[in-house]
Amino acid sequence: MASGVTERRRGGLWGHHDFLRLWAGQSASLVGGEVTVVAMPFIAIELLDASAAQVGIMVALGRLPSILYLFAGAWTDRTRRRPILIWTDFGRAAMLVTIPVLFLFDALALGWLFVTVFVVGVLRVLFETAYRSYLPSLIGRENLAEGNSKLQLSESVGRSAGPGLAGLLIAAGSAALVIIIDVVTYLFSAVACLFIRKREEAPPADEERPNVLASIWEGMRWVFTQPLLRPIVLSTGFYTFFVTGVMETLYFLFLIRELHLSAGWVGAILAVGGIGAIIGAWLSPRFMRHWGPGPLLLWSTIIGNGALLLVPLAGGPIWAVIAMLAASQLVVDLFVQVYMVNQLTLQQSITPDHLQGRVIATMWSVALGLAPVGAVVSGFLAETFGIREVILASSLIGVLAPVLLLSMSPVRRLNKMPDAPVS
C-alpha cells in the first residue's frame, strides 16, 4: 500500500483514477461545447437570418442564467455535488438534440433557439458551480494547482479543436447538424462521472444550516471582505461586461458581415487561440512557481487584455486581417488560461470547505451577471454606431479597468499561494 501511495504522489494526478474520469468527461464535453459556440451564431445568422439585435438577445439569454449562480452556490453547498454533474450533462444533451431534429423536419425557429440557449445556460450554471466546488474534496487542496491546470488544458484543447472542427463541418454541411457532436460529448461526460468511485461526504443536516438567503449573504460577505478576492471579482466584472458581454457578442457578426470571412477562416482563427490556450494552461503552474500568483495575475491581465485591441484595428488585405485576428486570439487565450488557473487555485485555496460553492457562485454571479446586459446593449449600440466602433470602445474599457483595479490591490504583492483556507 505504501508503494502505491508513493507511486501516486510521484505521478501526480495521473494516478488519481477518479480525477482522470472527471477530466476525460470534461475534455470531451468541452470540445463539443466549442463546436456549439461556433455553430449557434451560424444557425441564427445564416439559417434563420437573425439581425444584430436578435443575435444580441440570443447571446444574452444564454448568459442570463448567470444571475442564478448565487442560488446554485447555496444549493450545491447543501447537497452532494457529483449527482448534479451527471444530470446536468444529461439535461444539456436532451435540449441540444432538439435543434438538429427540428432542422431535419424544417421546424427550427429562432424562438426555439432562444429557449434552448437559456435552458442550456441554466444547466451550465448548476454544472459549473458543482464542478468547481467538488474539485477540492475530490483531489485535495495540495493538488489544486495541478488539477486546475489539467482542466484548463482540456478547455484549451477544446477551444483549439472545437472551432476548427466546427468550421470544417459547417462548410461541408449544415450548422444545425453539427450540434450532434455536442450532444454525444455531454452523454460521454455524464457516463464518466457515473464511474467516479470516491464517496462524497454528505453536507450538514438541515438544522445546522441557515436559510437560503442567509447562506447566500454569508458567501457574498466573505468574498467582498476578503482583500484578495474583492479586486479580482470587480476587475472580472468590468471584463465580462465590456469584453464577454459586448465585444464577444459582436465578434462573429464583425468577422462574417464586416470582414466577410468564411466559416473555415473563423474556425481557423479560433483554433489558433486554442493553441495559445493549451500553452497557457500548460505553463501556468510553472509561471506561478517562478513569479508568484499575484504578479502573474496582474501581468497576464495587462498582456492578455492589451491584445484585444488588435480586433477592432484589423483591416487591409485579407492576409493582414487574418494575421491580426489570429495573433489576438493566440495572445488573449494564452494569458486568459494563465489568469484562470492562478485565480481559481487562489480562490479554492483560501476558501473554507463549507463556503466553496457559495464563494464560486458569488465570484461568477458578479463577474458574469453583467454579461447578458452587455450582450443586449451590444446589438442596439452596433446598429446605432457600427460594429467596429462599439468593439473598439468596449475593448479599450475592458483593457484599462481590470489593470487599474489589480495594480492598486494587495493581489500584486502575493508571492506565494496561501497554505490553508483563510477564516
Instruction: Note the pLDDT tens digit of each residue in 12-43.
Output: 788 889 999 998 988 888 888 888 888 888 88
pLDDT above 50: residue 77: yes
C-alpha 182/C-alpha 96 separation (Å) is 8
Q: What is the mean pLDDT of the chain?
A: 82
Contacting residues for 232 by C-beta, under 8 A, at least 6 apart: 297, 343, 346, 347, 363, 406, 411
DSSP secondary structure, 129-166, as one string: HHHHHHHHHHH-GGGHHHHHHHHHHHHHHHHHHHHHHH
User: Average pLDDT of 192-207?
Assistant: 77
Flag whether the pTM goes above 0.85.
no
- pLDDT score recorded for residue 7: 37
What does the domain layout of the chain look like in residue ranges?
Answer: 10-413
C-alpha 120/C-alpha 63 separation (Å) is 10
Contacting residues for 173 by C-beta, under 8 A, at least 6 apart: none
Was domain 10-413 assigned CATH 1.20.1250.20?
yes
User: Average pLDDT of 148-164?
Assistant: 74
C-alpha cell at 40: 449557434
User: Average pLDDT of 304-327?
Assistant: 89
